[in-house]
Amino acid sequence: MYKSEKFWDKSANGYDKEEMKDREVRIKILQKIKGYLKKEDNVLDYGCATGILANEIASNVDKVYGIDISSEMIRIAQDKANELQIQNVDYSHTTIFDKNYKSEGFDMILAVYMLHLLEDLPKALERIYELLKPGGVFISVTPCLGKGSLAGIALSLVSKIGLIPKLKTYTVSELENSIKDTGFEIVETECLHRRGRQHFITVRKN
């Protein structure tokens, strides 16, 4: 985890600029997430980075908890929340396995551009399921490049030599099956960006 944390710390200052190159996709993600939110919701933003989403949805819910392994990302997210005078976002430099987060404590969990970076996806999905209340919603956005695609092959090579963190090149069906195997019911799947094969998946805990 240390190498990944170091990479994201170095990337933090330029993160917003890089992410907003796909501004239309980011806006669509935000709009779709807001469609599932309720004012009384407690939301966990898993891999919140610089708080792009957490700060945006704060006014739509009761409380947002943003977590990230990068202390620098968390610092920037908190600075932005302070500047915007957002009072109901709690940022922490931690992981989803933090014991301070109790079972069935959240109405929604977000993992935007996160799942393909996880070393143990089934374990993380089990923890997400545990943390959600019955009927709770889990939303992910994941580039599903597949192992045989040129982009997937190129990224895997760059990842293997250590220029970027390790990542998984899932197909959509592989990712959906992993999520369903955890016990979730799929509510919605949409490809937001065909070139990047970015898939928006919404599921519910039964």
pLDDT digits (tens, 9 = 90+) for 139-155: 999 999 876 554 444 44
Q: Tell me: pLDDT of 7 over 80.
A: yes
C-alpha closest to that of 77 among 138, 32, 16: 16
Q: Tell me: pLDDT of 12 over 80.
A: yes
DSSP letter string over 135-181?
A: EEEEEEEEE---TTSHHHHHHHHHHHTTSS-------HHHHHHHHHH
pLDDT at 149: 54
pLDDT tens digits for range 67-89: 999 999 999 999 999 999 999 99
Distance CA(18)–CA(29), nearest Å, equals 16
Q: Tell me if residue 205 falls in helix, strand or coil.
A: strand
CB 106 within 8 A of CB 44: yes
Apex CA 97: angle with CA 58 and CA 191, to 5°?
A: 55
Domains and CATH numbers, the chain: 2-143+170-205 (3.40.50.150)
pLDDT at 152: 45
pLDDT averaged over every residue in the chain: 90
Within the chain, strands assigned E span: 42-46, 63-68, 89-93, 106-112, 132-143, 184-193, 198-205
pLDDT tens digits for range 36-70: 999 999 999 999 999 999 999 999 999 999 999 99
Q: What are the counts of helices (DSSP H) followed by strands (DSSP E) for the chain? A: 7, 7
Query: What length does the chain have?
Result: 206
pLDDT at 153: 43
201: its two tokens: 């998946």
pLDDT at 31: 96
Average pLDDT, integer, range 188-192: 95
The reported pTM is 0.90
List beta partners, residue 140: 111, 201
